[in-house]
Structure 1
């Protein structure tokens, strides 16, 4: 039989992983004072140097905050749960994109900043989802979303060229009400949405755009939006920093 898989990471990283889980699950609530180094040394049966390294990892990742002369505390805000359903339905006429209006309901400041709008050869999985011929192009819209002035998501959305050409999708400006509202206006209502969720290390683009600390992974959402006759009208690659966000789903049983 093969040898059991063992955690060979340095002890400081393993301790940081255990504490990180306590924070993400709410066992260590926001604002809580972290146990003393002496207490943590006893709990994990290790040295003061190892405990300091573990705490520094979590400080670098923004899970913990040090206050000179007072102690170390859990960050003041819990990880925020993402509800993908907020982006499915188009906004009402004259209303902002639902991602923005949902942030307002949570009393958060929100905004998007456009990065690029251009014709592009998409990644293979995107091309397949859009049913493009080999070497086919799509209209790419790239942007960053901010919550309370912190980068919250990096979004790359692809649209069929024949659908987007000559419309506001091809304009390098934000779309009032967001793309679902515009697509509905164009005669392409959103009928369904498929999401595939993964976690992975950040690329350089994501690391810089989302201000990722240390080796924090990103949540990646690969989203296909369908209109009538199951026609794909939008494919989005969306990434969020995993130390600040969690995915949430509500499923009604028949």
Structure 2
């Protein structure tokens, strides 16, 4: 099963950055130029760039272009809590709408974060998460396919953590998390019922099972005025 074209382009751009073709602060070529270079449509190229932006590898600057991102200061947050459990603890009713759900080849970033072996597939799903029917965040989650292949789509999308724990005896442990600010793209603004360019919070998280095995790499974009993070020191 081959990787989608946008994942292949994602990998090529990431390799170029790691090889030093572009360094921190450098502006990468315009989308039109890169689309011609890779011989793909602007839409496909834009999808690859957006994936790199979501991962914090690139950053968009309004009116200036797309640049190799600076490494952000990271702050440790304690514990791993699923969105479902978090909303229930606040007395709110969690729900979600699945935008996409499919198995396929991982990107380089997904393979690295999940410590995958050669040839392993992943399940990649995009969801809008709600609290009391109000959209709170847009989430792209990637999970090793072997962990969820025996479960239904409904079981995985309704509560991944709950399904892994109750059906497979896999208990979530720690997580590494990075939070940064960004502006909502047109796509995200539409999903979350906000204005394009509105401030949002981006969380990138790798979640581990109690035995230390990574089981989830998630990129989540939260509506800033509807959600806040707090730290336990």
TM over 0.5: yes
Q: How does 1:94-113 map to 2 (within 5 A)?
A: 97-104=84-91, 108-113=92-97
Query: Does the alignment pair 1:236 with 2:218?
Result: yes
Secondary structure of the residue aligned to 2:228 is strand
Number of aligned residue pairs: give it: 156
2:208 aligns with 226
- The alpha carbon displacement at 1:220 in A equals 0.9
Q: How does 1:136-151 map to 2 (within 5 A)?
A: 137-151=121-135
2:104 aligns with 120
Secondary structure of the residue aligned to 1:87 is coil
- The equivalent position to 1:183 in structure 2, one of 164, 177, 189, is 164
Residues 164/187 of structure 1: CA separation in 2 closer, same or farther (3 Å cut): same
Give the alignment's Cα RMSD to 1 decimal: 2.8
Q: TM-score, normalised by structure 2?
A: 0.57
CA distance in 1, matches of 2:188, 2:214: 26
1:77 aligns with none
Whether the aligned pair in 2 keeps the contact of 1:156 and 1:238 (CA below 8 Å) is: yes
- The alpha carbon displacement at 1:98 in A equals 0.8
Q: Report Cα offsets for 1:32-73 as digits up to 9, x if no partner.
A: xxxxxxxxxxxxxxxxxxxxxxxxxxxxxxxxxxxxxxxxxx
Query: Does the alignment pair 1:212 with 2:194?
Result: yes
CA distance in 2, matches of 1:236, 1:205: 18
CA distance in 1, matches of 2:124, 2:110: 11
Higher Cα radius of gyration: 1
Q: TM-score, normalised by structure 1?
A: 0.53
CA distance in 1, matches of 2:157, 2:227: 26
CA distance in 2, matches of 1:121, 1:249: 35
Query: Does the alignment pair 1:194 with 2:194?
Result: no
Whether the aligned pair in 2 keeps the contact of 1:103 and 1:110 (CA below 8 Å) is: no
CA distance in 2, matches of 1:159, 1:182: 13
Residues 152/239 of structure 1: CA separation in 2 closer, same or farther (3 Å cut): same
1:74 aligns with none
CA distance in 2, matches of 1:182, 1:198: 29
2:230 aligns with 248
Secondary structure of the residue aligned to 1:173 is helix
Consecutive unaligned residues in structure 1, runs of 5 or more = 1-82, 89-95
Residues 147/199 of structure 1: CA separation in 2 closer, same or farther (3 Å cut): same
Consecutive unaligned residues in structure 2, runs of 5 or more = 1-76
2:81 aligns with 87
